[in-house]
């Protein structure tokens, strides 16, 4: 499973990265977390408002930081 956290490095982007890492850890999921910070790479994801979250190439979140519980559900839905 590939999970991308997308954002230029702002506080909310880092919060989403930490929440995603926590969700993966709690689930014991076999997932690679990639933090996308370069503007050209961010634009290529199709995310227009950061922070953003993609799981297996699908945009799951744009412009907000979901709770760990919600991220865990998103991961489960993609298994």
Which residues does the annotation mark as catalytic?
A: 10, 13
Pairing of strands 32-36, 52-55: unpaired
Check if the beta carbon of residue 6 is closer than 8 Å to that of residue 51.
yes
Of 46, 25, 28, 27, the closest CA to residue 4 belongs to 46
In angstroms, the CA 10 to CA 26 distance is 24
């Amino acid at each position: 499973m590939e999970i991308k956290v997308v954002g230029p490095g702002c506080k909310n982007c880092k919060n989403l990265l930490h929440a995603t890492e926590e969700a993966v850890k709690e689930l014991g999921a076999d997932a690679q977390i990639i933090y996308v910070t370069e503007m050209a790479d961010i634009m290529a994801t199709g995310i227009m408002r950061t922070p953003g979250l993609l799981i297996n190439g699908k945009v799951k979140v744009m412009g907000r930081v979901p709770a760990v519980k919600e991220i865990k559900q998103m991961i489960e839905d993609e298994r």
